[in-house]
Amino acid sequence: MSDVAANGADEPVCVVTRITFGSWRSLPGAVLRFRKLHRIGRREIPGLVEAHMRVRSGATLLIVSIWENELALIRFTTMEAHVDAVRWTIRQRGEIWSGVFRLTGTSSMSKPWIGTVRQWQPAAVTQAEQLAAEGPPSASRR
């Protein structure tokens, strides 16, 4: 198995980005930049599966994107247009939170869509986690 496959870099990833501005006035510019990036990404970056944006309360944008693999995501985030959009956001005093999530598996009812992701299995609960969830032992349990 290659190093890329061994570390999961060839598996699909999902990115959730939340950008909050101090003022609603920054939102039109942010929406235009997202739409431009989406067009460029579709045209120039193989591996962009889906990207969606929602305007939320509190002058907030929520962006969710799905990528065939980590390399596609890296190609996108290093594009000049993406770098410019991030710099613009910082100049507008936007607060950015972004999380990258590896797809650990699909549900049992899933049909093939992207990548070769195994069926998801819930993480096993360790004995320590189970004891922590139950709380400290009470006098009646002793």
CATH classification of the domain holding 51:
3.30.70.100
For residue 125, tell me if it sits in a domain.
no
Q: Which range of residues forms the domain containing residue 26?
A: 3-102
For residue 67, tell me if it sits in a domain.
yes
Buried b (16+ CB within 10 A) or exposed e, 45-63: bebbeebebeeeeebbbeb
User: Can you list the alpha helix ranges (DSSP code H) found in the chain?
Assistant: 3-6, 27-44, 70-77, 80-91, 127-134
Spell out the per-residue pLDDT of the chain, length 142, in tens. Answer: 444 444 557 889 999 999 999 999 999 999 999 999 999 999 999 999 999 999 999 999 999 999 999 999 999 999 999 999 999 999 999 999 999 998 877 777 877 777 666 666 667 766 666 677 777 766 555 5
Phi, psi (deg, nearest 5) at residue 81:
-65, -35
Nearest Cα neighbor of 19 from 102, 75, 91 is 91
Write down the pLDDT at residue 2: 46
Q: How many domains does the chain have?
A: 1
